[in-house]
Structure 1
């Protein structure tokens, strides 16, 4: 039955269902501040992860790079569109998990994100679209360029905000007090 749909229809459906689910569980549609910003650059802020993009947007682009690489390795026979639909499903599943009370509380207990109460639905959809952008870029760029972009994104976010994808994974899975202390110096 799924073959009756195009991968684009499935991808859009996944995003819309995820957004609807997040609204259903009580996530804010937009920032409680009442307005929408294209960029919010203040990390230690109740508006972080509430607007269209922020310092964590590069990590979602990296997700797209990584999903492209993994699906190229393990699902090469599928069309690019279906691999992107799978990547979108995984990204949306992560966004739903990330916005669960358990993961939000984990962030608050092991990181310095004391003002973090979950992403707005707008931010979640924008994060998924950033992953789609990363996936598309990975399909067009040479591998060396993709790896270089990952390294630059991680280096810049670690340097400027003392966080990034690698540190986020580390602190969620195996919190290191020295890293937490260093992050608190922002």
Structure 2
């Protein structure tokens, strides 16, 4: 089996193992509402972070852009195939999905951000978040850098304007909460 094939198989295994770990952690497989939808647009609704995609899917696509850039930089120092770089990115994203759905991060989101009712992701949503990162990684590998940067900025600005949250604000509020930002996000 070639290196590319082994790395691709390992990437799929990482996603499957992540789903099993999340399920073992008590995450619901699908939305407790019993339905599966492609898109959940109500950021404050019970289906947010439970369906195939939602407003935070854009953040995971941007993760793919960022992980592509980071592994491109690493590959300059330690030559590695695209499939190995994607495996590394998938491991990082899977690690985040597990951490994000741990009590410590769920409680942190509730305490420091506008996600007061956040209960964590469904397994379906987490797996689709990883797949969204893979899509972003794949796009970054094929698009000119300037297009990737414009797409990332557009996603951040549009999502930020529409739901008052995005990857940048999410990271800021998780690591260094600012009351004025939280107030703005809640519409106060």
| Shared fold (TM-score, shorter chain, > 0.5) | yes
- Give 1:4 shift: 10
Name the counterpart of 2:67.
67
Which whole-Å deviations, capped at 9, do the CAs of 1:45-99 have from their partners, x for residues lacking one?
1211000000000000000000000100112410000000000000000000000
Name the counterpart of 1:94.
96
Ranges in structure 2 where 5+ consecutive residues have no aligned partner: none
> Contact 2:14–2:91 (CA<8 Å) still a contact in 1?
yes
181 and 84 in structure 1: CA distance in 2 versus 1, 3 angstrom threshold = same
Name the counterpart of 1:21.
21
TM-score relative to the length of structure 1: 0.96
Separation in 1, partners of 2:4, 2:166: 39
Separation in 2, partners of 1:54, 1:115: 16
Look up the SS of the partner of 1:132 in the other structure: helix
> Contact 1:45–1:115 (CA<8 Å) still a contact in 2?
no
Name the counterpart of 1:120.
122
Aligned residue pair count: 184
Q: After TM superposition, list the pairs within 5 Å mapping 1:11-160 onto structure 2.
A: 11-76=11-76, 77-160=79-162
Structure 1 segments, 4+ long, off by >6 Å, are none
Separation in 1, partners of 2:153, 2:147: 10
